[in-house]
Amino acid sequence: MTRVLDGLRVVELAGIGPSPHAAMLLADLGADVVRIERPGGVSQLVPVEQDAGLRNRRSLCADLKDPADLQRVLSLVDNADVLIEGYRPGAAERLGMGPEVCRARNPRLVYARITGWGQDGPLAPYAGHDINYLALTGALNAIGRKGERPLAPLNLVADLGGGSMLAVTGILGALYARERSGQGDVVDVAMVDGVSTLMTMYWTLTENGLWSADRGTNVVDGAAPFYDTYECADGRYVAVGAVEPAFYAQLLTGLGLDPAEVPEQYDRTSWPAMHTRFAEIFRGRDRDQWVEHFAPLDACLTPVLALEEVATHPHITARGTVVESFGQRQPAAAPRFANATAAAYSAPRVPGADTDAVLRDWGAVPSAH
């Protein structure tokens, strides 16, 4: 068996945030991804060799402002299926690596551009970060407790959900279209667009009068006692997501409550009192005692795990959701395929370590030395 993207050639212009994550996802699926590093590399929080997000690809070092290096990279583009860049609008063009230049050389190329605001619009020239894209799409306003300020959910939603995941979707869509047309495409991936698509359900609920803009007052934003987190006796937490009546009944059983003696599940007037009641009960045992107690029940109750606890959880272990490679734990490749070779995990490469090998393998312009 082979990997699902074996044979796909991808040029990644080194950056941070969603573009390397998108490249990692393609590399995990078997694509031959070559990361083009600038001299001195990209500023990183950890050394390149220890960054799991840079796994499974080769590295070529090039100064795109140097004509000879530019030509070498463009010769890679000649044989590539995909190019990924995460520069501000116009930056790739100024370097001589814009989509018009690249696709004139290789009309089958899928050129994916990942930005925060997109390639056009009033905000396109400006900087931004995950929290800004959440703010402009209504997502940030919806996250947080009632009466408190909005709370950013790490940088998972815009950078990764609305950025890299949308980029991979666009790339695979363009590759599928290329099978019919023979032509590549330019994919404009804007994180603000991606977050907006993630908000589809909440647009629908709002348009039909089923979602309140007053955060912390809806079913899945912390108002409902059956969809929240609760502190336990040891200061750790459990998460409860018993939205459907069948699971709510199991939750009540586990908490020792008689359904006939508590208010109806969706009686919103009772939610504050039920929150208080649930909280008092959960404070009576340690987190793991509650998890063991609820194990026979289908009540949508799970422990809230710290990152250092994740790898040893029985379900995570059984599925191999966390792997250890090149000396550190990291998330396993996803998704999985029944008829494809299991993912491998090669260590990130020192910038430029594969320059000559890549140029040779891709039939590109040789290096100067």
Q: How far is CA 268 from CA 54, 152, 244, 322, in A?
A: 47, 26, 15, 39
Question: Phi-psi category of 209—alpha, beta or left, where left has phi over 0 and alpha has psi -120 to 50?
Answer: left
Q: How far apart are CA 238 and CA 231, in angstroms?
A: 7
Of 28, 69, 130, 159, the catalytic one is 159
Catalytic (active site) residue 129: yes
Q: What is the DSSP secondary-structure string of 279-327?
A: HHHHTTS-HHHHHHHHTTS-S-EEE---HHHHTTSHHHHHHT-EEEETT
Q: Using an 8 Å Cβ cutoff, are 56 and 342 in contact?
A: no
> CA 338, CA 329: separation in Å to the nearest integer?
24
How far is Cα 80 from Cα 78, in angstroms, rounded to an integer?
6
Q: Provide Rg for the chain, Cα atoms.
A: 24
For this structure, is 369 an active site residue?
no
Tell me, rounded to whole angstroms, the distance of Cα 249 from its chain centroid: 34
Marked catalytic residue, from 63, 129, 275, 361: 129
DSSP secondary-structure letter at 8? -
- Catalytic residues, by residue number, are 129, 159
